[in-house]
Every structure is written in C-alpha cells, then in structure tokens.
Amino acid sequence: MPIIEARNLRKTFAKTIAVDDVNLSIEEGEIFGILGPNGAGKTTTVECLTGMQKADSGHLRVLGLDPATHVADLRRQVGYQLQSTELPDAMRVGEAIDLFASFYPEPLQPAELLDTVGLSRLRKSAFGTLSGGEKQRLSIALALVGDPRIAVLDELTTGLDPQGRRDIWRLIDGIRHRGVTVVLVTHFLDEAQALCDRLAIVDQGRTIATGTPPELIAHAEMSAPGISQDARPVNLEDAYLAIIDSTVDAPEWKKTS
C-alpha cells in the first residue's frame, strides 16, 4: 500500500482553481519530488495532504488515514516544513526547537538537530535577527524534530547559498537512510535530480507526468519525436521544460464554472 495516495484531488479558492486533478502515489521510504511552475498548485496539494486545507473532492490517504478527518493523528507522524515559517521575532532558536520538540512523544535531540542544520552557534539568537537562509534551516529542523515517518518539505533550499544547499541535501539523504519518506516540493531541477527517487510534474493544477528522473527524460524524448538530435532532452531540466511546453493550456484554468 502506498504511504501517500491522492486521486483526482481538487481544491478551489473562490474563483481560483488551485488544484484541478492531482494524482500521486508515494511509496514508503522514497524521496518523492513535486515539481512545477509558480502557482501550479504544489503547496495547496501538500496542504491538503497534511490536513491544513480541506480538499473539495478526491480521494486522499496518508498512512492509511484521511487527512481531512485525522489531522491530529497525522500531525504526530508527518513533519511539515511550511513555505515561510513565522515565529515571534523575540523567540530564540533554542526556545523554538525545544517548544516544537515538546509537541511530540519521542522527539529527536534538539541540540543534535541544531548541529546537523548548522545552527548550534545561533541557539541564543532571536528569530527576528536570523537571515533568510538561517530561518530556512530552522524551519527544516522544526519539521524534523518530531522524528516523523513522513517529512513534507516545501521549497527546501530556497534562499540558501550553494554551500548551505549541499549541507541540506546531505541532511535529506541522511533522513532517507533512517527510513523517513520525504516529499520535496521544489523548482530546482538539480535538486530533484540529485535527491528524488521519483517525481511528479504538476502544471495548472494537474499532474502531467510521473516517474524516475530517467523515465521522465525518456518520456520527454518520446513526446518530441520530430526534434533534432542536438535538441533532445539530456537532463531532467530539459525534460521538465519539454514536458511543460507540450502541455495544452486547460481552457477553464483559473476560472471555476
């Protein structure tokens, strides 16, 4: 049984169709990427999966539970890194991680986790004084401190410098080796290629392709049969762009009927 399943997920906000028809099947222990342009519906999708938003329709199961009705059960087992973590400016890094650890029955050691994300020396610093990258590292630590079975990381490395990105990639790889299932929302293709076992491309609220990075490259080649040898997709970024380009715009996109 997949650890996460979404079939025909749909979510609208007033006149906006945020998610039109998303289909995902994620196996336990994999790093699964959700890729797509800005506004494609990625964040809304993971918000529905974590119970933060209620889907209009569709079938959702996370750890065998319906997130709409089992929010509390899932909160203990699913770590969610919000796209922008907002904490009180005066709260110190060490206080924030201790507070989040206190929500869980068997949390990780806050001090060790701060060390892993490179924030040990900022333990006494107030949230409001952190740089964007430091806030990002803290939000990752807060998502992981409960030792979750599933970690949902939205725009994991946005705002980090190259060194910081590589540190976080190593951290994610380490989490996978402990058996945690990782859902990674990203629009960095290098990150997806380096980390993800499989991924889904979401465009205009729909999953338009799913597979391993090599499968998506092969898929993109097949969808561009007349293309010259030089222009054939050779990496995930080429494949991603070719797949997005070949999607026909949904006529009703952004308008509810």
Ligand X SMILES: Nc1ncnc2c1ncn2[C@@H]1O[C@H](COP(=O)(O)OP(=O)(O)O)[C@@H](O)[C@H]1O
Which residues are near ligand X by CB under 6 A?
A: 13, 16, 18, 36, 38-44
Q: Is 230 exposed, middle or buried (0-12, 13-18, 19+ CB in 10 A)?
A: exposed
Which residues does residue 26 pair with via DSSP β-bridges, in sequence order? Answer: 4
Query: Which of the choices Mg ion, ligand X, none does residue 11 contact, using the CB cut-off of 5 to 8 A by kind?
Result: none
Compute φ and ψ for 103, nearest 5 degrees. -80, -15
Q: Is 232 exposed, middle or buried (0-12, 13-18, 19+ CB in 10 A)?
A: middle
Residues 6 or more apart whose Cβ sits within 8 Å of residue 210: 23, 24, 198, 199, 200, 201
CA pair distance 110, 101, nearest whole angstrom? 7
Q: Does 207 bind Mg ion (CB under 5 A)?
A: no
To the nearest whole angstrom, how small is the minimum distance from the Cβ of residue 185 to ligand X? 7
To the nearest whole angstrom, how small is the minimum distance from the Cβ of residue 37 to ligand X? 7
Query: Which of the choices ligand X, Mg ion, none does residue 39 contact, using the CB cut-off of 5 to 8 A by kind?
Result: ligand X
Query: Which of the choices Mg ion, ligand X, none does residue 97 contact, using the CB cut-off of 5 to 8 A by kind?
Result: none
To the nearest whole angstrom, how small is the minimum distance from the Cβ of residue 102 to ligand X? 29
Choose between 19 and 142: whose C-beta lies nearer to Mg ion: 19
Q: Does 43 bind Mg ion (CB under 5 A)?
A: yes
CA pair distance 190, 196, nearest whole angstrom? 10
Choose between 86 and 230: whose C-beta lies nearer to ligand X: 86
To the nearest whole angstrom, how small is the minimum distance from the Cβ of residue 11 to ligand X? 8
| Binding stretches for Mg ion (CB under 5 A) | 42-43
